[in-house]
A and B are shown apart, each in its own frame.
Chain A
Amino acid sequence: MRRFEYHEPATLDEAVALLGRFGDEASLLAGGTDLLVEIREHVHWPRQVVNIKKIQGIAALGYDERAGLRFGALVTAREIETSPVVLEKYPGLAQAARELGSIQVRNRATIVGNVCRASPSADTLPPLIADGATVKVYGPAGERTVALEAFFTGPGTTLLGPGELVTEIAVPPPPPRTGKHYIKHGRRKAMELATVGVGVTLTLDGGACREIRIALGAVAPTPIRARNAEDALRGRALDGAGIEAAARIAMDECRPISNVRGSAEYRRDMVGVLTQRAIRQAMEAVR
Chain B
Amino acid sequence: MKRVVEVTINGERHELALEPYRSLLDVLRNEVGLTGTKKGCDVGDCGACTVLLDGKPVNSCLVLGVEVAGCDIVTIEGLQPDPERLHPLQESFMKHGGAQCGFCTPGFVMMAKALLDENPNPTEEEIRFGIAGNICRCTGYTRIVTAIQEAAKELSEGRSPA
Interface residues of A (CB under 8 A from B): 1-6, 29, 32-33, 36-37, 39-41, 49, 51, 53, 78, 101-105, 107-108, 189-191
Q: Name the residue in B22, B63, B134 with the highest tally of chain A Cβ atoms < 10 Å from its Cβ.
A: B63
Contact B45 A191 (CB under 8 A): yes
The contact of A6 among B3, B42, B45, B130, by CB within 8 Å, is: B3
Tell me which residues across on chain B come within 8 A of A36, comparing CB atoms: 23, 44, 61-62, 64
Tell me which residues across on chain B come within 8 A of A103, comparing CB atoms: 57, 111, 114, 130, 132-133
Q: Which residue of B lies closest to A2 (CB)?
A: B21
Indicate whether B32 reaches chain A with its CB closer than 8 angstroms: no
Contact B20 A105 (CB under 8 A): no
Given contacts A1-B22, A101-B133, A190-B133, contact A37 B57 (CB under 8 A): no
Tell me which residues across on chain A come within 8 A of B21, comparing CB atoms: 1-4, 6, 39
Docked pose: A101 CA to B58 CA in angstroms:
12
Contact A5 B133 (CB under 8 A): no
Contact A191 B67 (CB under 8 A): no
Contact B58 A190 (CB under 8 A): no
Interface residues of B (CB under 8 A from A): 1, 3, 19-23, 42-45, 47, 50, 53, 56-59, 61-64, 66-67, 111, 114, 129-130, 132-134
Contact A108 B132 (CB under 8 A): no
Contact A4 B133 (CB under 8 A): no
Docked pose: A51 CA to B43 CA in angstroms:
19
Tell me which residues across on chain B come within 8 A of A53, comparing CB atoms: 67
Contact A33 B62 (CB under 8 A): yes
* A to B contact number (C-beta, < 8 Å): 82
What secondary structure prevails in chain B residues at the interface with A? mixed
Tell me which residues across on chain B come within 8 A of A4, comparing CB atoms: 20-21
Tell me which residues across on chain A come within 8 A of B59, comparing CB atoms: 33, 102, 104-105, 108
The contact of B132 among A3, A33, A189, by CB within 8 Å, is: A189
Contact A37 B66 (CB under 8 A): no
Contact B64 A32 (CB under 8 A): yes
Distance of A281 from chain B, by nearest CB (Å)? 20
Tell me which residues across on chain B come within 8 A of A40, comparing CB atoms: 42-43
Q: Which residue of A lies closest to B26 (CB)?
A: A1
Tell me which residues across on chain A come within 8 A of B56, comparing CB atoms: 78, 107
Tell me which residues across on chain B come within 8 A of A39, comparing CB atoms: 21
Tell me which residues across on chain A come within 8 A of B134, comparing CB atoms: 102
Tell me which residues across on chain B come within 8 A of A1, comparing CB atoms: 21-23
Contact A102 B23 (CB under 8 A): no
Tell me which residues across on chain A come within 8 A of B44, comparing CB atoms: 33, 36-37, 101-102, 104-105
Return 7 A-B CB contacts under 8 Å, by A number: A5-B1, A36-B62, A39-B21, A105-B44, A105-B62, A107-B58, A108-B62
Tell me which residues across on chain B come within 8 A of A33, comparing CB atoms: 44, 59, 62
